[in-house]
Structure 1
Amino acid sequence: MSDTNNTPADPKLETNGQPAANDAAAAAAPEAGGEDRVAKLEAEVASLKDQLLRAMAETENTRRRAQRDREDASKFAVSSFAKDLVGVADNLRRALEAVPPEGREKDEMLKSLAVGVEATERQLLGAFERAAIKKVDPTGEPFDPNFHQVMFEIENTGKPAGTVVQVLQPGYTIHGRLLREAMVGVAKAPADGGAAQHIDTTA
């Protein structure tokens, strides 16, 4: 005859149900840990995305700087050569101005020479225009130390002090950047200092 009193007790049915509660807590723990892991992964993804966007922006900025550098190199690579050529343009103009109008009428050879020099000057100025080289003739404009060099001041011009009243040598720019400054004479301030301003001729 079997003794039913010797049957071992089910540990899950212990007093107050504590083992069952422990099992429930253990089952919930992985779920809580999973939420933390998801949050951590999302934070890592956001950080990597931010780093990627920053890297892409820096790459684009670098590309743009490189492109500007290439464009500047292309535009201004001939600056030194162009600066020499503007001296040639000066000499061609001086040669033409040295020929008096009556000399052309009386001397066919002199006339032919002048016509040839004029054609050469036009061709050179056309090349300047294609290379974005422009002459700066600031007559009547206020003195600008960025583009002009004052050689002397002239009194009693009737112009405001600092106005360019004479151009000894025109200036030139290439793509808007100074190639050669213009050498100028400017109006001098009145002796009484009325509306005068000092012009820094060393600029």
Structure 2
Amino acid sequence: MSTQPQQPTQPQQPDPVPEGAVTEPEQEQGLPAPGAAEARGAGGEGLGPDAAGGPDVGETDVRADVRADERAAEQAAALAELDDRWRRALADLENLRKRHARELERERAAERARTAMALLPVVDNLELALSHAEADPGSIVEGVKAIHDQAVTALARLGYERQGETGVPFDPARHEVVGVVEDPEAEPGTVVQVLRPGYGEPGRQLRPVAVAVAKRE
């Protein structure tokens, strides 16, 4: 019995696609079909966001509240410390002001006492001159001169020397012009007459020198 050789099986060819028909793209190998991930998430299959080990929302809120309370407590403590420092500084300043006022008053009283002590000998000599005026009227002039010199010396010791020079240029810091005279022998603007002496240097005068100056031609 003779056998006929079998013909190789040819792969079946797909039917030709009619011209103009729309074909669906072939699914790529190894990629899930569209909508598969959403289907697994909707059906409970797969891991959700809470299954990744993230912190619980309630626990996070509690920790935030604790940190806020700690910050508030620290701020309150810092504010209390600043308030205490401010009150201490005010108290120290008030004590300093009172102490300075007391010291200033003591210095003023001491200065008044020194001035009065410097003038006491002048008063004593005046009383002595007056007591001898009736017995020897001529001696009163000499006594008054001596008392005058003593008073001028007392003022100089207090820092206020007598100023009354003539023939010096006019100085607005030391002199006060109360008159102008014609003097052909004097330079214009020169002090030719002292009408009232002054006491003290410029910047710490009891009073300036009242003078008459030569007229400028």
TM category (shorter chain) comes to 0.3 to 0.5
Larger relative helix fraction: 1
Larger relative strand fraction: 1
The structure whose Rg is larger is 2
TM-score, structure 1 normalization: 0.47
